[in-house]
C-alpha cells in the first residue's frame, strides 16, 4: 500500500503515517494497533513482536452467528424504532459514517472477512439512523453511503452462498440509491441485484436487468463516446455482469457481444483505476472473459486467456479480484483435467486473499474435486491448504 491508501484505511492522515514510519510518533494506544492490524489483515500481536497461536481457519471466516446477526439487521427497520418500542440509537455523523463505509470497502477488497463482519453488523444498524438524522444538505450523501453498506452486505452474502439474503440486501441498496442524487450509484446497486438473481438461478432476469440499466444509464448521462471514466466504469461493469449471466444461460453470442462492448469502454477508462469500487478496466474485462469461458464449459480458453495476461496489471488489482480470478482459473483447469494447474491456481488464490478461498463454499467444492480426481497424491501445497480448510480429512474418509 502507498502511505495515502494505508492512511485512508485507518482514518489517519498521510503525515501521521509518515511520522510513525520514521519513528517521530509512537504507537501507544492498543485501539490504534487493532485498527492497523485490521487494515493489514494480520493479528495485532504481530505488531507487538509476539508469536500468535495458530487458529482454525474457520475462525477467520464469517460464521453462522454473524450471518444471523446480518440477517437480523436487514430485517430490522431502525427508522420505525419509536413505533416498535425499540431503544433509540444515537445517530452518527455523516463524516463518521463515510469513514466507516470506506473502512468496510477496504475490508471487502482485501477479503478481510472478520473485520468486514464486525463492521457490517454495526453499519447495518447505524447507517439508516444516520441518514434519517442527517442535515438536509447531507441527506443525499448519507443515502449514498447507506446504499454502499447494503451493496457490500449483498456481495459478501452472495459469496457465502446466502443468495436470498443477498437479494434482500441488494433490493435495499436500490431503495437507498434512489434517494441520493447519483445515478451511477443506482447503476451499481442494480448490478448487485443482478448478481443476487444470478445466484438464485434467474440468469435471464439478471441479463435483462444489467443490460437494460446499462443502456438506460448511457441514455440519461450521454452516449458512451462522451461519458466520463466514472460513468464508463459503471456502464462497463453492468455489461460484464450481463455477460456472466449470459454465459450461465449458455448464450455464447450474447456473452461475446457484451464482453466486446465492455472492452471498448475499458479501453477509454484505462488501467489502474477503481471508480465506484468496480475495479473496471481492461484487465477486469479479461478476467471476465476467462470467467465466462469457465461458465460456458471452455476451461482451455480460460487457461489461454490467463496465460496472456500482463502479470503486473493483474497484481495491480485488489486482492479479492485477483483471488476470484485464480478460483475461476482453478475451475477451468479442473474442467480439462489439468489438476496440477488447478491446484497451483488454488494456492495462488489463497496467497492473494486467504479468506476468499477458505471461507467460500464454491472454493471448498473446487479443492475437494481436485483432491478426489488427482491421480496419486496432490502436490504438498494443495494438501496443506486442504488440511487448513478441514477438507483433506473429509476427502480421505469418503474414499
What kind of fold does domain 1-53 have according to CATH? Answer: 434 Repressor (Amino-terminal Domain) (1.10.260)
The answer to whether 323 and 349 are in contact (CB under 8 A) is: yes
pLDDT digits (tens, 9 = 90+) for 303-330: 999 999 999 999 999 999 999 999 999 9
Cell 494456492 belongs to residue? 347
At residue 55, does pLDDT exceed 60? no
361's grid cell? 463454499
Q: Using alpha carbons only, how large is the chain's radius of gyration in Å?
A: 21
Q: Which residues of 211-249 are buried (b: 16+ CB within 10 A; e: fewer)?
A: bebbeebbeebeebeebebbbbbbbbbbbbbbbbbbbbb
Task: Decide: 391 and 378 in contact? Cβ < 8 Å.
Answer: no
**Residue 201 CB contacts under 8 Å (≥ 6 apart), including other chains:** none
Cell of 87: 431503544
DSSP 89: P
pLDDT attached to residue 259: 98
Query: Does the pLDDT at position 57 exceed 70?
Result: no
CA-nearest of 106, 104, 108 to 126 is 104
Q: How far apart are CA 285 and CA 267, in angstroms?
A: 10
Distances (CA, A) of 151 to 33, 166, 172, 237, 279: 28, 9, 9, 14, 15
Phi, psi of 65 (to 5 degrees): -65, -40
Work out the mean pLDDT of the chain and round it to a whole number: 87
| C-alpha pair distances (Å), 25 with each of 4, 15, 16, 35 | 17, 11, 8, 16
**Residue 182 pLDDT exceeds 60:** yes
Percent of the chain, pLDDT > 90?
59
pLDDT digits (tens, 9 = 90+) for 369-392: 898 888 888 888 898 898 888 775
Residue 87 per-residue DSSP state: P
Distance CA 130, CA 174 (A): 18
DSSP labels for 340-394? HHHHHHHHHHHHH-HHHHHS-HHHHHHHHHHHHHSSSPPPHHHHHHHHHTT-HHH
Weakest mean pLDDT among 20-29, 116-125, 298-307, 326-335: 20-29
Hunting for cell 462522451 — which residue is that? 226
The set of cell numbers assigned to 371 is 483432491
> pLDDT tens, 1-28?
788 888 887 888 888 888 888 888 877 6
Amino acid at each position: 500500500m502507498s502511505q495515502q491508501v494505508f492512511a485512508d484505511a485507518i482514518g489517519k492522515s498521510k503525515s501521521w503515517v509518515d511520522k510513525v514510519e520514521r519513528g517521530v510518533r509512537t504507537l501507544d494506544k492498543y485501539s490504534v494497533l487493532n485498527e492497523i492490524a485490521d487494515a493489514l489483515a494480520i493479528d495485532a500481536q504481530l505488531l507487538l513482536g509476539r508469536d500468535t497461536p495458530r487458529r482454525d481457519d474457520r475462525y477467520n471466516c464469517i460464521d453462522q452467528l454473524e450471518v444471523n446477526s446480518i440477517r437480523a439487521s436487514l430485517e430490522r427497520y431502525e427508522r420505525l424504532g419509536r413505533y416498535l418500542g425499540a431503544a433509540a440509537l444515537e445517530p452518527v455523523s455523516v463524516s463518521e459514517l463515510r469513514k466507516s463505509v470506506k473502512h468496510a470497502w477496504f475490508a471487502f477488497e482485501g477479503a478481510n472477512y472478520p473485520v468486514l463482519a464486525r463492521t457490517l453488523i454495526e453499519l447495518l444498524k447505524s447507517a439508516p439512523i444516520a441518514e434519517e438524522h442527517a442535515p438536509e444538505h447531507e441527506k443525499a450523501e448519507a443515502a449514498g453511503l447507506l446504499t454502499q453498506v447494503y451493496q457490500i452486505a449483498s456481495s459478501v452474502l452472495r459469496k457465502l452462498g446466502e443468495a436470498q439474503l443477498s437479494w434482500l440486501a441488494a433490493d435495499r441498496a436500490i431503495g437507498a440509491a434512489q434517494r441520493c442524487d447519483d445515478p451511477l450509484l443506482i447503476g451499481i446497486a442494480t448490478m448487485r441485484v443482478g448478481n443476487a438473481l444470478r445466484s438464485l438461478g434467474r440468469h435471464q432476469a439478471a441479463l435483462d436487468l444489467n443490460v437494460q440499466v446499462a443502456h438506460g444509464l448511457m441514455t440519461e448521462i450521454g452516449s458512451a463516446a462522451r461519458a466520463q471514466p466514472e460513468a464508463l466504469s459503471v456502464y462497463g461493469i453492468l455489461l460484464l455482469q450481463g455477460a456472466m449471466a449470459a454465459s450461465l444461460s449458455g448464450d455464447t453470442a450474447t456473452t461475446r457481444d457484451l464482453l466486446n462492448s465492455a472492452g471498448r469502454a475499458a479501453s477509454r477508462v484505462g488501467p489502474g483505476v477503481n471508480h465506484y469500487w468496480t475495479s473496471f478496466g481492461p484487465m477486469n474485462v479479461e478476467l471476465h472473459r476467462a470467467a465466462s469461458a469457465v461458465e460456458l464449459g471452455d476451461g482451455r480458453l480460460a487457461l489461454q486467456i490467463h496465460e496472456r495476461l500482463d502479470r503486473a496489471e493483474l497484481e495491480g488489482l485488489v486482492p479479492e479480484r485477483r483471488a476470484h480470478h485464480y478460483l475461476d482459473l482453478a475451475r477451468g483447469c479442473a474442467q480439462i483435467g489439468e489438476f496440477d494447474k488447478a491446484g497451483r491456481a488454488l494456492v495462488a488464490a489463497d496467497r492473494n486473499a486467504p479468506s476468499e478461498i477458505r471461507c467460500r463454499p464454491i472454493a471448498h467444492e473446487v479443492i475437494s474435486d481436485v483432491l478426489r480426481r488427482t491421480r496419486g497424491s496432490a502436490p504438498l501445497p494443495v494438501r496443506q491448504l486442504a488440511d487448513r480448510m478441514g477438507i483433506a480429512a473429509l476427502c480421505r474418509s469418503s474414499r
